[in-house]
Structure 1
Amino acid sequence: MRIERKERADATILHADLDSFYASVEQRDNPALRGLPVIVGGGVVLAASYEAKAFGVRTPMPGREARALCPRAVVVRPRFEAYVEASNAVFDIFRDTSPIVEGISVDEAFLDVGGLARISGSPVEIATRLRARVAAEVGLPITVGIARTKFLAKVASAVGKPDGLLEVVAGTELDFLHPLPVRRLWGVGAITEAKLADAGISTVGDLSRFGEHGLCSLLGGGVGRHLYALSMARDPRRVETGRRRRSIGSQRALGRRPKSDADIEATLVAIVDRLGKRLRTAERVCRTVVLRLRFDDFGRATRSRSFLESTDRTDMIMAVARGLLDDAMPLIRDRGCTLIGLSLTNLDDHDSIQLTLPFEADHGAELDIAMDQLRDRFGRDAVTRAVLVGRHHGDDAPMLPD
């Protein structure tokens, strides 16, 4: 379902973003960590408190590099169940604030508060109450940006961090945007920023003055038009609610220690088992499996393969995932592997599957259901694959939704 409203002159789009989410949950739950530099994740930094960020620690920085920058940092293991619980509580507040909420990830969302003035007050008043409720009911700091467009609201929340509230008043968009560095624009990474710097472009204002034609010549037509539109505060997208996710995924940081082929395969098997259950719980099916790898030299590789027909069967997903891993194993042996991730994409509803006649007995789906039920009743480790016996695979980091 897509909900739209007519164009308004007011700044009525909120971007609410929890501050250093994982690290803030750890500091909330363990008062001894408050005020200290906290790093979540050992092999790769999954999150860092603002005290750690002050030393230059960033995600997804290798843990060794982060500890060199901040020797006093306290490194804690991730607790994803706690993060999911906190996220659900915050999103309940979002949905109680506005009927139009578009989740972006576990720790941020857009809210459209247009039309709520008579019952809830101005956007600033609404955002102020939202921040107070998140602090009082969930115990976490959150920053809110307010603007007429999603893009500017997100930029405002980034500028307003940490634990702040920043409104871009209607009519002042370019005054706010143009002094900012170009890296604030969606689509400007390190490579694009370097290209722009070589052309003498360091701020959003510089970029807008360079012109659309010049940007298209420098960066290509699509990127040039996109960045020029953002530099002029043009973003026609509406806040959407009820969107179905296009993919689900999970990843596991492996650290820089040597790993055997069996270690890596066991990690993949554990990820596939969990994703298969998540897929069936959501009553979805997938068409494509995507394997993502990060190497010791910080390089990355992606491999993907699609099914002829969509499926939610763990055995079929497992076979494809193992095939992708086999294809990539020469690279892993040569370059080492610090992270392995798997995504199931091209999702559809389960009832979209075209049924086939059972000419041959195949009980794979029944086996998946039985294993799901056993794990729901007796715990995740009640039944497991032989390759996972004696191994611990609880540190995988969920990927952000597309």
Structure 2
Amino acid sequence: MKEKTILHYDMDAFYASVEIRDNPSLKGKPIVVGNSIITTASYEARKFGVRSAMPVMEARKLCHHLLVIPVSMGKYMEVSRKIKNLVARLTEKVEFIASDEGYVDITELVKRYPSKEYFARRFQKGIYKNTGLTCSVGIGYNKLSAKIASDAKKPGGYYIFNNSQEFVEYISGKNIKIIPGVGKKFQELLGERNILMVRDVHNYSLYELISYFGKSRGEFLYCSAMGEDNRQVDYKRKIHSVGNENTFRYPLESEVEIKRELESIFHKTHERLVGKDLLCKTVTLKVRFENRKTITRSKTLENLADSREILKNTLENINESVDYSMRVKLLGVSFGNLVQKSIRQLSFSERELFNKKNRVDLLKEKIKKIEKNN
């Protein structure tokens, strides 16, 4: 297989950075963007343990002088579109995975520049010049190495892995959670086998890891620790749905807990929807109870939408129809029947305006014909 050069960019504390850019008095202060649930925390806030998806009330207990800025999704998405347009000018080989990050296949592109380091700095300067925002950049030989490289020098830095040897040397001494996809629950399972650092994976054969954690997770863990990742920058893929779900170690039983978790999952899913410039027609809620019974409830909208308010109200209406007499083990939210914004259908109001214009034009034509005949 031909050697690839992949770049991963990640905007630094995206929503918070946009707010700080627009209001410089916020610079250096611990701020979060969110309503009841935090969507983004500035790096100053993160020092207090504040993080995204955390309830604002809980964050205030960690940082008493925390500043909370309401979400302005329209503003963030406008900036996101500008960033995407800038990146797309470089090459069509871009996979945008959220409103603030993406992978770029620069295998051929980077050959036009003096070095990978030069390209990384130029990429960052271009984003900053046009948006006033910083981003972290990682360049690797595959998507895995590029992603971990972009996290290495956050915020505002860049890091480069030229080959698998450099990558394995770097991650061997890191905590196992550095591997994207190794969440809290998987970490606990790995801890039972005394796999705490990436180098601990090297003590096991592929067969052993599969026997302990299953084929999918076993292979994923083995390949990641070895720096292997055959995924391509998927710039031609058609997206059928976007969604997120959480499995809870301790089942949820209160209405407050369920509502809080749903809001967090909704936010992540909505961010992916708008980040990919998509409109949806169907909202789906998935619930798995403690006894393993799983239900899905869906609602199809009259018109395509990406409005946070419309989609959230729809989800809340669906949620009201669910009987939560049993404790909840899993919650999921997804948006389906997707259409790119560039080829969206007319909204009801737009169709009415269009039809009204047609009726006026037809009336004018009739009047002209009558006048001509007379």
TM-score w.r.t. the length of structure 1 is 0.68
Q: How far apart are the structure 1 equivalents of 2:69 and 2:45?
A: 13
In 2: Cα distance, 1:90 partner to 1:249 partner: 23
Distance 1:89 1:369 in 2: 24
* Structure 1 residue 189 displacement after superposition: 1.0
Show the counterpart of 1:198. 192
Residue aligning to 2:219: 225
- Aligned residue number for residue 366 of structure 2: none
How do residues 318-333 of structure 1 correspond to structure 2 at under 5 angstroms? 324-328=318-322, 330-331=323-324
Counterpart secondary structure, 2:60: helix
Post-superposition Cα deviations, 1:64-83, rounded to whole Å, max 9, x if no partner, equal 11111111111000111110
Determine if the alignment matches structure 1 residue 344 to structure 2 residue 335.
yes
- In 1, Cα distance between the equivalents of 2:151 and 2:130? 23
Q: Given the alignment, which residue of 159, 174, 181 partners 2:175?
A: 181
Distance 1:234 1:249, change over 3 A: closer
- Give the distance between the partners of 2:130 and 2:187, measured in 1 at CA: 40
The alpha carbon displacement at 1:118 in A equals 4.3
Check the 8 A contact 1:289/1:304 in 2, yes or no: no
Match of 1:32 in 2: 25
Shift of 1:292: 5.8
Q: Residue 87 of structure 1 is aligned with which of 66, 80, 86?
A: 80
Q: Distance in 2 between matches of 1:13 and 1:74?
A: 37
1:187-238: CA deviation from partner (whole Å, max 9, x where unpaired): 2111110121221111111113222222223222221111111111110111
CA deviations 1:144-172 (Å, max 9, x no partner) are: 01110101110111122111100012241
Higher relative contact order (CA 8 A, sep 6+): 1
Q: State how far apart, in whole Å, the 1-side matches of 2:60 and 2:317 are.
A: 36
Specify the code of the residue in structure 2 equivalent to 1:199: R
Q: Distance in 1 between matches of 2:80 and 2:209?
A: 39
Cα separation, 1, equivalents of 2:169 and 2:11 = 26
1:154 and 2:132 are equivalent in the alignment: no
8 Å CA contact 2:298–2:318 kept in 1: the answer is no
Aligned to 2:89: 96
Q: How big is the shift at 1:130?
A: 0.8
1:108 counterpart residue number: 101
3-state SS in 1 of match to 2:38: coil
Q: Measure, in 2, the Cα distance between the counterparts of 1:233 and 1:118.
A: 23
Number of the residue aligned with 1:386: none
Supply the RMSD in Å over aligned alpha carbons.
4.0
1:304 equivalenced with 2:296 (yes/no): yes
Distance change >3 Å, CA 33–CA 123, structure 1 → 2: same
Please give the per-residue CA displacement for 1:346-391, whole angstroms capped at 9, x wherever unaligned: 6479xxxxxxxxxxxxxxx9xx843355799xxxxxxxxxxxxxxx
Provide the identity percentage: 32
Question: Displacement, 1:304?
Answer: 2.5
Residue by residue over 1:43-99, the C-alpha shift from the partner in whole angstroms, topping out at 9 and shown as x without a partner, is 111110000001111110111111111111110001111101111111122112333
Contact 2:29 2:44 in 1 (8 A): yes
Alpha carbons of structure 1 residues 209 and 36: separation in structure 2 relative to 1, 3 Å = same
Residue 7 of structure 1 pairs with residue 2 of structure 2 = yes
**Structure 1, 214-223 or 150-159: larger mean CA deviation:** 214-223
In structure 2, list runs of 5 or more residues that go unmatched: 245-254, 305-309, 355-374
CA distance in 1, matches of 2:76, 2:352: 25
Secondary structure of 2:88's aligned partner: helix
Q: Secondary structure at the match of 1:28?
A: helix
The answer to whether the 8 A contact 2:127-2:133 is kept is yes
| Residue 306 (structure 1) shift | 6.7
- For 1:67 and 1:130, the matched residues in 2 are separated by 36
Residue 345 of structure 1 and its aligned partner are, at CA, apart by 2.4
Q: By how many angstroms is 1:243 displaced?
A: 2.8
User: In the TM superposition, what is the alpha-carbon distance from 1:302 to its structure 2 partner?
Assistant: 8.0
2 CA distance for matches of 1:97 and 1:73? 39
> Is the CA contact (8 Å cut-off) linking 2:37 and 2:55 kept in structure 1?
yes
Match of 1:129 in 2: 122
Q: Distance in 2 between matches of 1:138 and 1:18?
A: 11
Q: Render the CA deviation track for 1:18-56: whole Å, top value 9, x for unaligned.
A: 011111111111111111001111311111000000111
- 3-state SS of the aligned residue for 2:203? helix
Q: Is the contact between residue 168 and residue 176 of structure 1 (CA under 8 Å) also seen in structure 2?
A: no
Alpha carbons 1:28, 1:140 under 8 Å: kept: yes
Residue type at the aligned position of 1:247: S
Residues paired across the two proteins, number: 314
Q: TM-score, normalised by structure 2?
A: 0.72
Match of 1:254 in 2: none
> Could you list the runs of 5+ residues in structure 1 that have no partner in the other structure?
1-5, 251-257, 295-300, 350-364, 377-402
Conservation of the 8 A alpha-carbon contact between 2:93 and 2:104: yes
Please say if residues 173 and 199 of structure 2, whose CA atoms lie closer than 8 Å, have aligned partners that are also in contact.
Answer: yes
Q: Is the 8 A contact 1:291 1:302 kept in 2?
A: no
Label 1:176 to 1:67 Cα distance change in 2 as closer, same or farther (>3 A). same
- Partners in 1 of 2:93 and 2:35 — Cα distance? 37
Q: Which whole-Å CA distance do the structure 1 matches of 2:124 and 2:286 have between them?
A: 36
Q: What residue identity is the alignment partner of 1:36? A: K
